[in-house]
Amino acid sequence: MPGRAKSITKKKQDARNAHNGLMSSAVKAYLSELGKAPGLQRRGARTICRDFEEMNLQATGKRVQLSYSTLLRLAAGGKSLAEINAAKSWLTAEETEQVIAYIVELGNRGFPLSHRRLREHVDEICHAKLGAAFPGVGKQWTHRFVEKHSDHLKMSWSRPLDSKRGRAVNPHTNKAWFDLLEGVMDKLDIDEDCIYAADEIGISPQSGERERVIGSKTRSGPQYQQRTGSRENITVIVSICADGTAEPPAVILKGNAYQVKWKQDNPANASLGYSKKGWTDGEIGVEWIKDLEKRTKAKANGRDRLLIVDGHNSHYTRAFLEYARKNRIHVLCYPAHTTHVYQGLDVVVFAVLKHCWTEERDRWESGKGEGITKANFITIYGRAHIRALTPDLIRTAFRKTGIWPFNRNVVTDDMMAPSKETSCQSNLPIIPSTPIHCERSRTACSTA
């Protein structure tokens, strides 16, 4: 898969590195020629430069020109331009490595640095080394730093992560979750065609993906994109199975009574319900699991089924759990605040579903000239649902979260790194030479 095109600066940097590497090899070859015994034929600096230029052209298809005078200067002990520039750099090679490691570690823990904050950290290092006379790095220094070290660093749009979620996905919770999941699946001998996952997604007629659009170069300010329809939230319950199939969705509209016009064209064969706020509640939850049981009963053929859901209260009413137990549906709940890692619908499916929803909504509005209403929502959403929930995507959702095939190693140390900031264990950086004790009524420690 082709990657992102390199910037002009990065291309120049790669060309410079290629030239320096080729020149270094040429210098070694020239010194080797000088070491030959008297009377043996030696290649001169010009010949070596031409030979290495030809070798590089045949190997890479790119011509790199080498200067024989530069070769002679370097062979005599001179410094390369890269070494001269490195000597003038604000940071040494060791400091640069430490800064890169610090940036990566903070990013993994959920506290990524911006250009401004990176500049502040580098200024502190240089002030401590060079004194108060240091003027500070330039405004574009951090941009060039990231581009220069693009093998290790890159710029990304940040996404907010609630601190509760950051703390929740930790080694202890991770082990407990996969131990519980493995124990239930082994005890009940659950097959892939009996493992289900369900979650709610809120969709507004005006919602959709943010996209890059084309506009006038002279226009200032944001480029607005008009949307029709209300901001009223509509809840959709999506259910998927580990064998790659999806059950028809359940759509919850805001209203006080059912209206026949809501269900005129229903390509996804969705179930339809309503509530005063357009959200799921205990009563709707019971009706939903009854519908799920009827649709999956034939496939189960008397076997136990596993239903994995989040901690929404509609999944844990007495009526919901009694009906599930009676019909051999075992309900398993994700750990609190961890669905962004363990729930396949959140991790994989919903992003694709929202993308398809945006396309289908835009296609409807441009083709029909109508806004999104309750009367046509189920038609437009149904088309997006069918497009998005493909067997490959559904299987990917279960595989990427380690549910099927079962794999507890899908959650890496980097994914659990944000929990390090709230670890219950700590270590003193230096072992004190004398015993100490702390006074509870004071903020400082006193020596014993």
pLDDT digits (tens, 9 = 90+) for 360-384: 998 998 888 788 888 889 999 999 9
Our CA angle for 399, 401, 403, nearest 5°, is 65
**Residue by residue, what is the 3-state secondary structure of 52-74?**
HHHHHHHHHCCCCCCCHHHHHHH
Sign, Cα dihedral of 217, 218, 220, 225: negative
Amino acid symbol at 145:
F
pLDDT at 431: 42
Q: How confident is the model at residue 164 (pLDDT cuts 50, 70, 90)?
A: confident
Average per-residue pLDDT for the chain: 86
Distance, C-alpha 189 to centroid of its chain: 33
180-210 confidence digits (pLDDT tens): 999 999 999 999 999 999 999 998 876 656 6
38-86 confidence digits (pLDDT tens): 888 888 889 989 998 899 889 988 888 999 898 898 888 888 877 787 7
Q: How confident is the model at residue 87 (pLDDT cuts 50, 70, 90)?
A: confident
Q: How far apart are CA 96 and CA 83, in angstroms?
A: 15
pLDDT at 238: 97
Amino acid symbol at 350:
F
- Is residue 429 reached through a cis peptide bond, with omega within 30 degrees of 0 on the bond before it? no
Our CA angle for 69, 71, 77, nearest 5°, is 110
